[in-house]
Amino acid sequence: MQRVALSVVAWGATIVALSTITISHITKSPVEDVLFDVISGFGTVGLSTGLTASLPDLGVYVMALTIFMGRIGTVTLAAAVAATSRSQLYSLPVERPIVG
């Protein structure tokens, strides 16, 4: 379970960091404003410093991808990591019994 939690945190931190760097590079805005908007978007909170409304097209696409990954990506990643960590302690029969 700890591996799943660490994977989700690392995945989220990587997405937030990459999105912040990309949008900061595109807009040349202060990092604090960009970081606030990116974290708000990733967490699907809905708060903004006003930067999101003035983003160019590429920034809007990056922000939309960040919102999508925050909403769908971490849950999917957690489910995938949790599903692969279970071991099956039994095996199902593979032959069909003869009836009749």
* pLDDT tens sequence across 32-60: 999 999 999 998 888 888 888 888 999 99
Residue 6 falls inside a structural domain: yes
Residue 22 falls inside a structural domain: yes
Per the structure, the count of domains in the chain is: 1
What's the DSSP call for residue 45?
-
CA atoms in the 13 A half-sphere facing the CB of 97: 3
Decide: residue 73, CB within 10 A, 0-12 exposed, 13-18 middle, 19+ buried.
Answer: middle
Q: Which two tokens stand for residue 49?
A: 């410093």
Q: Which domain holds residue 44?
A: 2-84
Q: The domain spanning residue 64 has which CATH number? A: 1.10.287
Per-residue confidence (pLDDT) for residue 84, from 0 to 100: 64
CA 28, chain centre distance (Å): 25
What are the residue ranges in the chain where pLDDT is below 70?
Answer: 1, 81-82, 84-86
What's the DSSP call for residue 100?
-
Residue 34 falls inside a structural domain: yes
Q: Which two tokens stand for residue 5?
A: 């939690």
Whether pTM exceeds 0.75: no
Residue 100 falls inside a structural domain: no
Residue 40 falls inside a structural domain: yes
Per-residue confidence (pLDDT) for residue 75, from 0 to 100: 73
